[in-house]
Amino acid sequence: MASTKSDTKVETQAVPAAEPVPVVEAKPAQPAAPMLQSSAGEALQKYSLCAHCQSRLHFAYLTDFSRNLTEETARCPECHKQSHRVMHRLQ
Ligand SMILES: [Zn+2]
């Protein structure tokens, strides 16, 4: 008597599938284009021109660190008139 032993042991080993790496799509940063308004440009031009002779003003800044103030003075090189004097407060 021959007994055929078919000992087939099938091991079903569940191979863990590699987890899919979640792909995070990086959105390209929107370039924030600074919109310069024409009115602002005109104001700036007025600001930097002498009110008397329309020549370009010379700006001078004097910073007082003890008081955290910057004094801005605009002077006309042509008629030597001081156009304005603005105090800027530093942070
Ligand atoms: Zn002037």
User: Coil, strand, or helix at residue 79?
Assistant: coil
What integer pLDDT is reported at residue 82 of this predicted model?
83
Number of domains in the chain: 1
What integer pLDDT is reported at residue 37 of this predicted model?
57
63 Cα: distance to centroid of ligand 1 (angstroms): 25
32 Cα: distance to centroid of ligand 1 (angstroms): 38
What integer pLDDT is reported at residue 58 of this predicted model?
93
Is 51 part of any domain? yes
CB within 5 A of ion ligand 1: which residues?
Answer: 50, 52-53, 76, 78-79
Listed in sequence order, the DSSP H helices in 1-91 are 38-47
Q: What is the pLDDT along the chain (91 residues), one digit of tens a residue?
A: 666 666 767 667 776 777 777 777 777 666 665 555 567 777 777 778 988 899 999 999 999 999 999 999 999 999 988 877 889 998 7
Q: Are strands 69-75 and 82-89 parallel, antiparallel or unpaired?
A: antiparallel
What integer pLDDT is reported at residue 65 of this predicted model?
93
What range does the domain containing 54 cover?
38-89
pTM of the model: 0.45
Is 18 part of any domain? no
Is 33 part of any domain? no
